[in-house]
């Protein structure tokens, strides 16, 4: 286990080199990372290849299809060495590659190909714990207090290791120990410097923050010395200002309750009408707004959401939810195979996705990505809910834009039948007296004058309306930044 101490010495020397400017720029995408413009695609080797074997090559072969969806970044599920049979969060060594997914050369090939196509590459990293099969933990178990790694792990008053929740195979790291902090900082620097990745999703970022709130700012400082454009996403609630104020670009669209999706309880099974009052409260944090500069990672599915959205709520509500996801402030996440209606339990680790789109979702994802690129207001921070004569099944909101950006209005129908809806008069609608409307799914366009005219909305779909004249009046809005 001497290699761990060697790593700590090398890391200290490396920090000095960075501070003195001895380490130059790396071969990664050089354009500044504007996280608000990201469309993120989650790619897990397990879902691209049987058992994840040679999963790096399988993901690389699929990159053109990911680009065609309009994604401009990919998130690789954990690629570090992990316990046999585990999805990847039972990390055994933060420096080692899980070679079952492919050799180091293949991962570098995947990252290089992604960069060549304009895709940023983020790694999912678990810094909160190590697995009970980690050589560090096993050494501590064998040698007890005589092991230099005994103090690496959080322990209770009796000296028993503290687990991550009730997963007894995941041993919480002791961030009060400088050796642990050094090990983890060095590991992140290794993946950034040696593989030229563009950022990280920090698994259980909230748990590390609880034990050492100074660690994440330190990590941000270290990584931005290597790459000022690094992207960091916290698995934690975006309603907590700590994360945006301590180096993170984005955090999860959770409530203040740990792990609870902000849209939990909104949608109805079997095509029923969602509880839109509950959704309105979620979008505005109960009317309180969000901390300044907050950027939310928004999703329908991820590795922890269990049964897939499409399986629970059907194709119709899925289509309406996709249009919602891409027209709100934040980073939309496309999770492995959502674009083909893939239905599976993530921790079942497969089988590999069958890339046949029987639900017609792929063109919708691609069109919605194009709309985010075309309409600048869709990536701006502002959001103002609007009132209609059908608030029970229609959600309408204004995306004001910033500066010279043209304001956009979105109206979404969550009913299984077409509806005609009128917006109630409000000062922001003065911009839309001579406006251009477009069906979000079909692309059909027409001219409209609001608020006088009614909008016809398709089943489980909506329209976007672009203002004809930019008003000087800002109106009163609820922003993701307050």
Q: What domains are defined for the chain?
A: 2-377 (3.20.20.80), 380-479 (2.60.40.1180)
Half-sphere exposure of residue 181: CA atoms within 13 angstroms, side-chain side: 17
Question: How many whole angstroms separate alpha carbon 450 and alpha carbon 466?
Answer: 11
Predicted confidence at residue 351, as pLDDT, reads 76
Predicted confidence at residue 25, as pLDDT, reads 35
Query: Judging by DSSP bridges, how do beta strands 80-82 and 73-76 pair with one another?
Result: unpaired
Is residue 1 within 8 A of residue 215, CB to CB? The reply is no
Is residue 245 within 8 A of residue 272, CB to CB? The reply is no
Question: How many whole angstroms separate alpha carbon 276 and alpha carbon 54?
Answer: 44
Predicted confidence at residue 166, as pLDDT, reads 85
Is residue 213 within 8 A of residue 134, CB to CB? The reply is no
Predicted confidence at residue 165, as pLDDT, reads 87
What is the block-wise mean pLDDT of the chain (482 residues), using blocks of 10 residues? 49 42 42 82 96 96 98 98 95 97 98 98 98 98 97 96 92 98 98 98 98 98 96 98 96 96 94 94 95 96 94 96 98 98 85 93 98 96 96 97 93 98 90 96 96 96 86 37 30
Is residue 74 within 8 A of residue 114, CB to CB? The reply is yes
Torsion 39-333-55-91 (CA) sign? positive
């Amino acid at each position: 286990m001497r290699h761990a101490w060697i790593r700590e010495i090398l890391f200290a020397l490396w920090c000095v080199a960075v501070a003195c400017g001895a380490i130059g720029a790396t071969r990664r995408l050089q354009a500044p990372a504007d996280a608000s413009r990201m469309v993120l695609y989650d790619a897990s080797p397990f879902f691209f290849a049987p058992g994840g074997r040679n999963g790096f090559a399988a993901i690389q072969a699929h990159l053109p299809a990911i680009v065609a969806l309009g994604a401009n970044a990919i998130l690789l599920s954990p690629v570090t060495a992990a316990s046999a049979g585990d999805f990847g969060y039972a990390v055994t060594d933060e420096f080692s590659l899980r070679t079952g997914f492919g050799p180091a050369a293949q991962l570098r090939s995947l990252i290089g190909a992604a960069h060549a196509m304009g895709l940023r590459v983020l790694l999912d990293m678990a810094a909160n714990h190590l697995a009970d099969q980690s050589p560090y933990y096993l050494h501590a178990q064998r040698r007890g207090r005589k092991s230099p790694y005994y103090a690496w792990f959080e322990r209770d008053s009796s000296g028993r290791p503290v687990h991550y929740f009730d997963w007894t195979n995941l041993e919480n790291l002791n961030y009060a120990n400088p050796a642990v902090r050094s090990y983890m900082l060095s590991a992140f620097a290794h993946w950034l410097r040696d593989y030229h990745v563009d950022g990280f999703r920090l698994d259980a970022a909230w748990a590390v923050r609880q034990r050492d709130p100074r660690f994440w700012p330190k990590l941000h400082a270290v990584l931005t010395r290597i790459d000022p454009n690094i992207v960091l996403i916290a698995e934690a609630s975006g309603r907590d200002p700590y994360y945006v104020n301590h180096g993170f670009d984005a955090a999860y669209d959770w409530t203040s309750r740990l792990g609870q999706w902000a849209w939990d309880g909104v949608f109805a099974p079997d095509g029923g009408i969602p509880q839109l009052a509950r959704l309105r409260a979620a979008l505005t944090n109960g009317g309180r707004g969000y901390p300044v500069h907050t950027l939310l990672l928004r999703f329908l599915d991820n590795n922890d959401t269990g049964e897939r959205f499409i399986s629970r709520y059907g194709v119709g509500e899925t289509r309406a939810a996709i249009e919602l996801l891409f027209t709100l402030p934040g980073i939309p996440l496309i999770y492995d195979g959502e674009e083909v209606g893939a239905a599976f339990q993530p921790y079942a680790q497969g089988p590999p996705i069958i890339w046949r789109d029987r639900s017609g979702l792929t063109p919708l994802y691609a069109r919605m990505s194009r709309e985010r690129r075309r309409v600048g207001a869709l990536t701006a921070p502002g959001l103002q809910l609007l009132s209609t004569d059908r608030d029970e099944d229609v959600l309408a909101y204004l995306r004001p834009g910033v500066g010279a950006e043209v304001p956009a209005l979105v109206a979404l129908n969550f009913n299984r039948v077409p509806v005609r809806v009128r917006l109630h008069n409000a000062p922001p609608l003065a911009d839309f007296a001579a406006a251009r409307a477009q069906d979000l799914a079909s692309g059909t366009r027409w001219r409209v004058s609001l608020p006088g005219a009614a909008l016809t909305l398709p089943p489980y779909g909506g329209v976007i309306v672009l203002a004809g004249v930019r008003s000087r009046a800002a109106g009163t809005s609820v922003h993701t930044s307050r």
